[in-house]
Structure 1
């Protein structure tokens, strides 16, 4: 009887990990997929070069500052023209989608600003880095929910695998 409970607990644990693994892979593990935008600071109406490597299919690139662009399968780059009405000093997110994997890169619009009106080509804030790794795109709610699920599975596994008082041979 104990073997059945242990097997059930083990299957429950494996099942919980199997259910949570695809979500973690889709959000964080980019499997060698990398994306860049050059230059990272561009004037309104300027051209940017979009580069995506490590994807074996077409890559879709979207942003609020230019029309959606597709980098065809077998190629790694494409160009996009930034909207002429892009707000100087603003930072726009550029998202690259390769199937279930995605990455976001910031694009700064050059020009003006209250701090340095004499130098329109200088971005108005520092570099935004560190979006990669296993936590990219996750918020605290998702991390908390994952921790609660794992804790519940471990607690259930422990409870089901403990010997019961009526199993020690007493009738």
Structure 2
């Protein structure tokens, strides 16, 4: 019985570690670097993230502020000033329609006396095939036709390698627990 409890605890710990890793990687894994952009400010704990880092004119970006415990202001020459209220970690901004494709703009964060910066590149707006597209912008079309519904992100987010590895870990844990339980039962009957 003890082997089953130990195996279960180990599997739960491994699952928690595995599920927590992508969030740490998404934020650069350390302080001073922002999500999406590279932190270049004066502070070692304040960071600004801009997602996506490439957007077409009229597109939306999410501005993520980490390490600020008061109201923050985010400014750039490509969108209106955004205020991130105290207690919130992110806000969104709409890139100006007249933003010049190919240009890279500096996005500035100010929190009290601390600052940080990130970069945002404006890309060419494309209709239909090829080129960069912004997943956060509204697709061109007729709004009276409604939404094209489907599976959306419910299936696309799975990585088959991760699913296979998880299945192998669970199967291995169950197999080891079963083997040890059978071995212990055989040892108990032989004695």
The two structures have a TM-score, normalised by structure 1, of: 0.50
Q: Which has the higher contact order (CA 8 A, sep 6+)?
A: 1
The two structures have a TM-score, normalised by structure 2, of: 0.44
